[in-house]
Amino acid sequence: MSIVSPDLAFLAPRWRPGGLALKRGLLAGIRRVLAQRDAINRINVFPVADGDTGSNLAFTLSAVEQALRPLRLRSAGGLLRRAGDEAIDGARGNSGAILAQFLQGLGEQLADQPRLDPAALAAAAEHAARQARGAVAQPREGTILSVISAFAAALREHSGRGADLRACWAGALAAARAALAQTPEQLAVLRKAGVVDAGALGFVELLEGINDYLLRGRAGLARLQDFRPGDAGVVTAAGDHDAGHRYCTECVLSAEAIDRDQVRAAIAALEHSSLVLAGTRQKLRVHVHLDQPQQLYDALAPLGQLGGCKADDMRAQQRATQARTRVAVVTDSAADLPDAALEQLPLHLVPVRLNFGAQDYLDKVSMSPKEFFHELRSNPAAPRTSQPPPGDFRRLFEFLLSHHEEVVYVGLSRAVSGTLQAGESAAARCAAGRVRIVDTRTASCGQGLLARHAAELAAQGLDADSIVARLQALIAQTRVIAYVRDLSHVVRGGRLPAWTLPLTRWLRLVPVAAVGGDGRLHVASILRDGPSLPARFAERILRRLPAGARDWRILVGHCDNPAEAACLRLQLQQRLPAASIEIVPLGAAISVHAGPGAIVVGLLPG
């Protein structure tokens, strides 16, 4: 019988941890990475200076933490196998996918080990290091791969000398630190920026946290509550290492037997970079940089089932890392606004999900408005939208909070969608009080005008409280008025009764709708179709404006109807010469319901 109590078992010279002790060690490492995520973000310059490596590693490891925390597995190997599976599902970014493959390789090799011993761990680490390197299409030295290899080789060396687990880990950690310090000598972009590799730093922080547990047991876990990100030596990433492609695109491919060579061949036909394939023969996390995310999804769809699709705009991320504003503004793709606003202001977009049958898309990211109407005409499946999952918001919020003090989310009306609630759910899991939520009680061009105004205020240096107060004062004055030529999409969505469709078609009636104070769209009047429709619609708009008001910011949005939008813009400009009027194509989040030919006008007091 052992005379060592469970709480002190980690002090035994030949201690061989089982599942519970291993879980505590992993949680210690994960929590250290989470604490350091902002510092890791700020030194991220390779492969792209998009400032999100810390956030990506945090998301990857958070998925592992959430899965492991309630488990009571006695088997160390079983726990590592579960950790690897969860890491593949939750992996984000280049370094996150590589780390996930390393953890999956450890679990694969140690699956039958009830307890860890130095020799078994060393052999598994070497196997996992080879798998991590093999996951990368073009491996580079001076990255997380170099540090993983150094760690695994040192584990093998120290275990061969007969050292116990703590001594082996300490020696391997020292080798990983030394390899991390060498990364600027191996990559010129790191040397120029004066930083080490961000992904490699994240891996070392994971090892450091595990070492805290090895040295102190549960006291190491408690110590993490006082741990703070170390900013010493952190250099803000330079922005001159531009992304070769715009979107960091990811998905999970599932099938009974995945052929990685077939996957590589499918992707080879695309213009791409930074390819990482991490996972097993049944589940593969695909990470790649390219300009058209949908090309990846289309290429992989014949090879299995796709899930977890996401695409982060690396150019927007680079702008965020270089911005000097206190506040970043987020909106969802139900907001329609000019592309220039997203390119020139501290404004970021979370895409609404869209599908035609089994095919999924990301509104305004993997499917443009033009592509949506082409698909609408050619695809017999009816399109449907769904709100972004809270994880999409949380990933963006936490990334932005690494580079800004506060975030303001300017969201779609709560009355018509659960999108705002998804944003609220994500904000609740971020730093307390640093994410503010605004229900615009509107959509489309009205929401877009409010989001752009919020970003302009942020660019002027206002704090979140001031921006929210200004928006709340404007929401009741914002107008959204629309007409719909084809009611079939509105009827199919359940927003109007079926009898309205044949009646309006027979009488050639065009319903005019407006967003009310309750945040819902209501039919306000009826117009007869004909050449003078834009002029008569312009008159209806003026009737809904306060008397004497002339200074407005106006967006005219159209559903594949640019000619009529231009005609309406001319009519409005003649009646409101002081107004600023722009035309925008409407995204799928609105067009699914409004249908071809619809016109939506948003008006914000100037």
Rounded to an integer, what distance in angstroms lies between the CA atom of residue 152 and that of residue 201? 16
Using CB atoms within 10 A of its CB, is residue 358 exposed (0-12), middle (13-18) or buried (19+)? exposed
Rounded to an integer, what distance in angstroms lies between the CA atom of residue 144 and that of residue 598? 51
What pLDDT sits at residue 231?
37
β-sheet with 406-411: strand ranges across: 347-350, 327-332, 406-411, 435-439
DSSP-derived secondary structure for 454-482: HHHHHHTT--HHHHHHHHHHHHTT-EEEE
Helix axes 76-90, 53-68, angle to 10 degrees: 140
Structure-token pair, residue 205: 């922080």
Residues 6 or more apart whose CB falls under 8 angstroms from that of 91 comprise 60, 63, 97, 99, 100, 250, 278, 285, 287
End-to-end C-alpha distance for the chain, whole angstroms: 80
The domains located in the chain, with CATH, are 6-225 (1.25.40.340), 243-320 (3.30.70), 479-605 (3.30.1180.10)
Helix runs in 274-405, H state only:
293-300, 314-322, 339-344, 369-378, 390-401
Collapsed DSSP state (helix, strand, coil) of residue 603: strand
Other C-beta atoms lying within 10 Å of the C-beta of residue 120 = 18
- In 413-565, where do the E strands start and end? 435-439, 479-483, 509-515, 521-528, 552-558
70 preceded by a cis bond (ω within 30 of 0): no
Using CB atoms within 10 A of its CB, is residue 434 exposed (0-12), middle (13-18) or buried (19+)? middle
Rounded to an integer, what distance in angstroms lies between the CA atom of residue 228 and that of residue 210? 16
Matching residue, tokens 């391997």:
172
Rounded to an integer, what distance in angstroms lies between the CA atom of residue 317 and that of residue 522? 38
pLDDT digits (tens, 9 = 90+) for 415-467: 999 999 999 999 998 877 899 999 999 999 999 999 999 999 999 999 999 99
Structure-token pair, residue 77: 């190997």
What pLDDT sits at residue 71?
86
The tally of CA atoms less than 13 A away on the side-chain side of residue 240 is 5
β-sheet with 383-386: strand ranges across: 359-362, 353-356, 383-386
Query: Closest Cα partner for 183 from 236, 132, 146, 138?
Result: 146
What pLDDT sits at residue 357?
85
Query: Closest Cα partner for 156 from 210, 118, 111?
Result: 118
CB of 519 closer than 8 Å to CB of 438: no
Query: Closest Cα partner for 343 from 512, 431, 251, 459?
Result: 459
In DSSP terms, 361 is beta-bridged to 354
* Ranges under pLDDT 50 in the chain: 1-8, 222-242
Matching residue, tokens 């408690």:
222
Rounded to an integer, what distance in angstroms lies between the CA atom of residue 82 and that of residue 328? 36
Rounded to an integer, what distance in angstroms lies between the CA atom of residue 455 and that of residue 59? 26
